[in-house]
Amino acid sequence: MAMDFALVCASLLLIFLIIFGIAMFFKLARIAIKWLITIILNSIVGILFFFLLRLIGISIPLWPHIVPVALFGLPALATMLILKFLGVPVF
């Protein structure tokens, strides 16, 4: 049986697209995992510094401020400290 040239080309194209799709999936998954690890580490460091500040005597109310610090880490904590020292009521 002779294979049709169009069928061979379509099969090769399909195989190429599947391999390309799998490669792109793993590349995007690796980028997403690196981003997620960065956010998790930033949040952990922010929460640790939040409690460290409470230990040394700089009191920021816990409940309204823990969520932004947990989500955004040190930038949120720094923003809240700057606002506190400038006298701006945040919550």
Q: Which of 9-18, 31-40, 71-80 has the lowest mean pLDDT?
A: 71-80
Q: Where are the domains of the chain?
A: 5-86
Q: 33: pLDDT confidence band, cut at 50, 70 and 90?
A: very high
pLDDT digits (tens, 9 = 90+) for 47-88: 888 888 889 988 778 788 888 888 888 888 888 889 888 988
Name every residue whose Cβ is closer than 8 Å to that of residue 46 and which is 6 or more positions away in sequence: 69, 70, 72, 73, 74, 76, 77
State the DSSP string of 70-81: HHH-HHHHHHHH
Among positive and negative, which fits the CA dihedral 32, 38, 75, 77? positive
Average pLDDT over residues 26-50: 90
pTM listed for this prediction: 0.62
